[in-house]
């Protein structure tokens, strides 16, 4: 992946999360203590954010900054969605789903 395409993907991820929360650029900027223009330039792939900016954005979204940069590039979109959903349910449900997946993995389809 080129530096340019990774910048674009990062910007798209920030925009996707912001829009999913129905936040404007100004809303996110206020929460992250950044300017709307700066966030817009990141979203459009024109600027690469610093580590401190990624941390500020992570705090604003209440996520780990690594989630913005795709720490898990080799995981399928379905697995990423499962991981995201797992964070939204109780520990008991998460444990049950984990047990089901373990059972399925031990008995793969033939």
pLDDT in tens, 16-54: 999 999 999 999 999 999 999 999 999 999 999 989 999
Nearest residue to 14 (alpha-carbon basis) of 82, 1, 3, 36:
36
CA geometry: angle at 17 spanning 45 and 88, to 5°? 150
d(CA 74, CA 9): 15
Which tens digits make up the pLDDT trace of 88-110?
A: 888 888 888 888 888 888 876 76
Q: 29-37, long-range: CB within 8 Å, 24+ apart, which pairs?
A: 31/59, 31/60, 32/56, 32/57, 32/59, 32/60
Whether the Cβ atoms of residue 44 and residue 51 lie closer than 8 Å to each other: no
CATH architecture, domain defined by 3-69? Orthogonal Bundle (1.10)
Residue 3, pLDDT score: 54
Question: What is the pTM for the complete model shown?
Answer: 0.61
Residue 74, pLDDT score: 57
The domain locations on the chain are 3-69, 77-106
């Amino acid at each position: 992946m080129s530096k340019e395409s990774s910048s674009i993907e990062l910007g798209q991820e920030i925009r996707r999360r912001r829009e999913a929360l129905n936040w404007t650029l100004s809303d996110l900027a206020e929460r992250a203590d950044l300017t709307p223009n700066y966030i817009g330039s990141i979203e459009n792939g024109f600027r690469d954010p610093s580590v401190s900016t990624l941390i500020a954005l992570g705090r604003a979204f209440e996520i780990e900054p690594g989630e913005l940069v795709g720490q898990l590039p080799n995981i399928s979109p379905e697995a990423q969605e499962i991981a995201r959903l797992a964070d939204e349910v109780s520990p008991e449900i998460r444990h049950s789903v984990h047990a089901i997946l373990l059972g399925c993995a031990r008995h793969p389809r033939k």
